[in-house]
Copies of this chain bind each other. A is one copy, B any other.
Amino acid sequence: MKKNLTLKQIAKELEVSVSTVSKALKNSEEISESTRQKIQAFAKLYNYKPNNIALSLKNRKTKTIAVIIPEIVHHFFAMVISGIESVANKSGYNVIICISNESYEREVINIEMLASGSIDGFIISLAKESQEKKDYHHIKEVINQGMPVVMFDRVTREVYTDKVIIDDVLATQEAIQFLLSKQRKDIAFITTPDYISVGRLRTEGYTKMLLQNDIEINEDLIVRIANEEELITQLEHLFDTQKFNALVAVNELYAVAALKIALKRGIKVPDELNIIGFTDGIISQHSTPAISTIKQNAFKMGEISAKLLINKLEEENEHEHYITEVIGTELLHRETTSL
């Protein structure tokens, strides 16, 4: 139960001053070769490690960044974190992860807690509830304090800061275009309520593309899932009441649920029904048939978010100049689309 060694202790032990020890360990020219060696040897022997907290207090930086995500048991977010971790570690940063659990309150608490000194910057994806409330004062506040913030995926126009997103409208349009090119014009669309930015944008891509092709929008083909518990019921209702030969879902959970219902009803996939999901996660990969999907490059999204943040943290002159990076997507054909 030996406590961690401090400079003071080394100094005492070696009968020199604290500052000498500090300099010697930094290999400062000021200190004579011999004392330097003596001190370094001692420090090594007793495995001296500088206390990070003291360094943070002194330097006014903690070398850690915080990630606030709505949910972790989710392939997309797990991949983003993986990407963040990977670049953060390379630059010597630690990563703190906090889960808002889609709750506005938890988002606020986490951010306020961390904002007071514990971290150097935030990477945030908004909780559903915050988007619903449209209340972003907590984020604006930390930005005002001069703390860099990067938002990804679930972002909002109301906050000025760096953002990393995919072009949801375009990505959806590409998927719809593909289906249309195969003469599949009755396309069901499973999405979220419009207050979720990504859901809204994807729905926009869907309607835009149909209109561009002079196809009338059938509102009954658009299913908005507000509550995941009603996912199955709402999908069953869709299958009961509508005719369609293709289906696009804004995430893989909705896609696989739809696939499952189709299979149960003996609908042949992909012959009678094409299915395209979003998020290239393990569900899509491992279902049978494997689901064709719009790949969002979550890992890359994490990497870029972290890079943007670290750039802001390390650049000298802080010009107020924010960018929004748009990550490319790709349509990945597997077994639920017919080529």
Which of B50, B116, B259 meets A288, CB within 8 Å?
A: B259
- Give the number of copies in the complex: 2
Q: Does A14 contact B (CB under 8 A)?
A: no
| Beta-carbon contacts under 8 Å, A55-113 to B | 56-57, 62, 64, 72-75, 78-79, 81-82, 85, 89, 94-99, 106, 112-113
Contacts of A256 in B (CB 8 A): 286
Contacts of A56 in B (CB 8 A): 53
Alpha-carbon distance A323/B21, docked complex (angstroms): 41
Which of B54, B85, B260 meets A286, CB within 8 Å?
A: B260
B283 touches A286 (CB 8 A): yes
B144 touches A2 (CB 8 A): yes
Alpha-carbon distance A157/B203, docked complex (angstroms): 54
The smallest beta-carbon distance between A324 and chain B, in angstroms, is 22
B1 touches A144 (CB 8 A): yes
Which of B47, B78, B118 meets A78, CB within 8 Å?
A: B78
A145 touches B3 (CB 8 A): yes
A72 touches B64 (CB 8 A): no
A53 touches B49 (CB 8 A): no
The smallest beta-carbon distance between A64 and chain B, in angstroms, is 7
> How many of chain A's residues touch chain B, expressed as a range?
35 or more
A82 touches B57 (CB 8 A): no
Q: Does A223 contact B (CB under 8 A)?
A: no
Complex: chain B residue closest to A299, CB-CB = B73
Q: Does A313 contact B (CB under 8 A)?
A: no
Q: Does A52 contact B (CB under 8 A)?
A: yes
The 0/1 profile, CB within 8 Å of B marked 1, for residues 250-266 of chain A is: 00010011011001000
Complex: chain B residue closest to A289, CB-CB = B288
Give 10 A-B pairs besides A2-B146, A260-B288, A263-B288 with Cβ atoms closer than 8 angstroms.
A2-B145, A53-B117, A72-B78, A73-B82, A75-B282, A85-B98, A95-B97, A97-B97, A256-B286, A282-B283
Interface residues of A (CB under 8 A from B): 1-4, 47, 49-54, 56-57, 62, 64, 72-75, 78-79, 81-82, 85, 89, 94-99, 106, 112-118, 141, 144-146, 253, 256-257, 259-260, 263, 282-283, 286-288
Jot down 13 A-B pairs with beta carbons below 8 A, ordered by A. A3-B145, A4-B116, A52-B113, A53-B56, A53-B57, A54-B117, A73-B75, A85-B98, A85-B99, A94-B118, A95-B96, A253-B286, A282-B283
The 5 closest A-B pairs by CB, nearest first: A49-B116, A51-B117, A53-B117, A52-B117, A73-B78
